[in-house]
């Protein structure tokens, strides 16, 4: 069978639409876009917006997998649409929906205020052990110290892990994989002094203890952060501390 020339092949996208000022209920809209071997789902969405339907709304930015803006559900799997190649789905239709477990503002755009709020609550920044002026020099850190938390610092806040996590779907108060991984990133950083402070939130019942180690978060993470590992490690650390404080209450903190 002679394949059709590149320019004439097409692929179908079934895209979730929600226009709250016009319609009460969301619906799906089908678009037939050109199929190109090197196109990703984001290219297809951009083609739709540029050439076919300017009303489609969605987030994107770097188109190379580092900004975390373009996360959506592609055939039911949370993916960065700039990293989901059409050729992996062709010739079957592709269903594009907003990330699961988040309220939908419009079309493919979700409300992620909840996550941003949790980041702030967890103080996901360095709280230095000592204050230093610029003239006193940098905070020094060995490669070995960096290695303890580096993996968890790779998070691009894309929220795919929240979309994949059934526990977050069941309990929206759950801090969630990315937030806890980021809290761990700072807890393990030798320059930081706020572990105990963060523990109030991290080790609460809506923190690590909500997690049942399903592992979907780590499976879908595009940056191999392994938030599931961060959470289980935090469970071990917090359990040791809890038992120490119970069995040896006179020990120094």
Question: Which residues contribute to the site for other proteins (CB under 8 A)?
Answer: 18, 20-21, 26, 76-77, 100-101, 103-106, 111, 143-144, 147-148, 166-167, 169-171, 199-201, 203-207, 209, 212-216, 218-219, 226, 228-229, 232-233, 235-236, 238-239, 241-243
Among residues 91 and 103, whose Cβ is nearest to other proteins? 103
Among residues 33 and 99, whose Cβ is nearest to other proteins? 99
Among residues 9 and 219, whose Cβ is nearest to other proteins? 219
Give the number of other Cβ atoms within 10 Å of residue 83's Cβ.
16
Q: Least distance (Å) from other proteins to the CB of residue 156?
A: 21
Among residues 16 and 60, whose Cβ is nearest to other proteins? 16
Q: Least distance (Å) from other proteins to the CB of residue 81?
A: 19
Q: How far apart are CA 233 and CA 179, in angstroms?
A: 14
The DSSP call for residue 86 is: G
Of the candidates 161, 163, 193, the residue with the CA atom closest to the CA atom of residue 177: 161
Among residues 3 and 251, whose Cβ is nearest to other proteins? 251
Q: How far apart are CA 22 and CA 27, in angstroms?
A: 12
Q: Least distance (Å) from other proteins to the CB of residue 122?
A: 11
Among residues 207 and 222, whose Cβ is nearest to other proteins? 207
Q: Least distance (Å) from other proteins to the CB of residue 223?
A: 16
CB-CB contact of 84 with 40 (8 Å): yes
Q: Least distance (Å) from other proteins to the CB of residue 76?
A: 7
CB-CB contact of 101 with 162 (8 Å): yes
Q: How far apart are CA 47 and CA 56, in angstroms?
A: 11
Give the number of other Cβ atoms within 10 Å of residue 224's Cβ.
8
Tokens standing for 63? 């188109």
Tokens standing for 162? 């929240």
Q: Least distance (Å) from other proteins to the CB of residue 240?
A: 8
Among residues 33 and 165, whose Cβ is nearest to other proteins? 165
Q: Least distance (Å) from other proteins to the CB of residue 212?
A: 5
Of the candidates 82, 89, 99, 90, the residue with the CA atom closest to the CA atom of residue 40: 82
Q: How far apart are CA 217 and CA 24, in angstroms?
A: 32
Give the number of other Cβ atoms within 10 Å of residue 135's Cβ.
5
């Amino acid at each position: 069978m002679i394949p059709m020339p590149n320019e004439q092949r097409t692929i179908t996208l079934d895209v979730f639409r929600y226009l709250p000022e016009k319609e009460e209920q969301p619906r799906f809209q089908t678009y037939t876009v050109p199929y190109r071997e090197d196109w990703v789902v984001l290219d297809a969405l951009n083609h739709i917006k540029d050439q076919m339907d300017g009303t489609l709304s969605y987030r994107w930015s770097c188109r190379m997998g580092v900004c975390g803006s373009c996360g959506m559900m592609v055939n039911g799997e949370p993916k960065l649409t700039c990293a989901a190649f059409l050729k992996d789905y062709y010739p079957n239709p592709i269903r594009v929906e907003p990330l699961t477990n988040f309220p939908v503002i419009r079309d493919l755009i979700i409300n992620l205020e909840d996550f941003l709020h949790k980041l702030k609550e967890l103080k996901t920044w360095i709280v230095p052990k000592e204050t230093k002026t610029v003239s006193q020099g940098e905070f020094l850190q060995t490669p070995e110290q960096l290695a303890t938390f580096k993996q968890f610092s790779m998070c691009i806040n894309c929220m795919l892990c929240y979309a994949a996590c059934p526990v977050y779907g069941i309990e929206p108060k759950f801090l969630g994989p990315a937030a806890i991984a980021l809290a761990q990133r700072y807890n393990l950083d030798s320059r930081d002094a706020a572990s105990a402070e963060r523990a109030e939130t991290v080790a609460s019942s809506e923190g690590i203890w909500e997690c049942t180690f399903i592992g979907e978060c780590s499976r879908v993470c595009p940056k191999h952060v392994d938030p599931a590992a961060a959470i289980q490690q935090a469970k071990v650390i917090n359990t040791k501390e809890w038992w120490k404080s119970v069995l040896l209450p006179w020990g120094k903190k």
